[in-house]
């Protein structure tokens, strides 16, 4: 079981992208958590790269530099990263943000992860592959924030 707390947490240098699963539909962004602002359409080929600033309740505060949009909020799970498996080794997915915690699964191929929480060196992701969907913590070093290129 994974719990997402209600506290306000600040992040540094966390990047992700919008529209990680479906580039055909817009996502909602907010002026403040729960205060609707507008719909955000995807870019031509994928989502927009965002800087994640903090999480409050079930929202992340983000900046979208390409659109000159600052300090807006988006639902957790509406931004994502690519879990990059460059060397085809089994990447561990942990039950907690700690390499000493229980490994609940492995990622064998690159896939999308929807972001639900962030820790110092880990992100809590909903990992979506062709065969399964599950939650777990993945080390940041295995993640790529750019939907257009590989981060290598």
Are 124 and 115 in contact by the 8 Å Cβ rule? The answer is yes
Residue with tokens 């079930």: 58
For the cut 50, the answer to whether the pLDDT of residue 121 exceeds it is: yes
Cα dihedral value 97, 101, 103, 108, nearest 10: 40
| Cβ-based neighbours of 103, under 8 Å, separated by 6 or more | 92, 93, 94, 95
Residue 104: closest CA among 85, 130, 125: 125
Q: What percent of the chain has pLDDT over 90?
A: 64
- Tell me the domains of the chain and their CATH numbers: 9-78 (2.30.30), 80-144 (2.30.30.40)
The predicted pLDDT at position 23 comes to 82
Three-state DSSP state, 121: coil
Give the whole-angstrom CA distance, residue 58 versus residue 35: 13
pTM, rounded to two decimals: 0.89
Mean pLDDT of the chain: 88
Work out the pLDDT band at 89, boundaries 50, 70, 90: confident
Give the whole-angstrom CA distance, residue 51 versus residue 79: 10
Residues linked to residue 127 through DSSP beta bridges, in sequence order: 113, 134
Q: Which of 4-13, 33-42, 47-56, 81-90 has the lowest mean pLDDT?
A: 4-13
Render pLDDT for 28-51 as a digit per residue (tens, 0 to 9): 999 999 999 999 998 877 889 999
For the cut 70, the answer to whether the pLDDT of residue 99 exceeds it is: yes
Side-chain half-sphere of 60: how many Cα atoms within 13 Å?
Answer: 25
């Amino acid at each position: 079981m994974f719990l997402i707390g209600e506290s306000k947490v600040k992040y540094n240098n966390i990047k992700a992208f919008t529209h990680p699963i479906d580039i055909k539909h817009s996502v909602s962004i907010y002026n403040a958590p729960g205060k609707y602002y507008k719909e955000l359409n995807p870019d031509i080929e994928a989502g927009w790269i965002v800087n994640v600033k903090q999480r409050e309740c079930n929202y992340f505060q983000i900046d979208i530099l390409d659109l000159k949009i600052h300090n807006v909020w988006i639902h957790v799970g509406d931004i994502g990263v690519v879990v990059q498996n460059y060397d085809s080794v089994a990447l561990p997915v942990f039950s907690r943000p700690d390499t000493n915690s229980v490994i609940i699964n492995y990622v064998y191929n690159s896939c999308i992860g929807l972001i639900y929480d962030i820790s110092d060196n880990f992100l809590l992701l909903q990992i979506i592959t062709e065969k399964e969907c599950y939650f777990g913590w993945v080390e940041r070093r295995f993640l790529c924030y750019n939907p257009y290129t590989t981060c290598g």
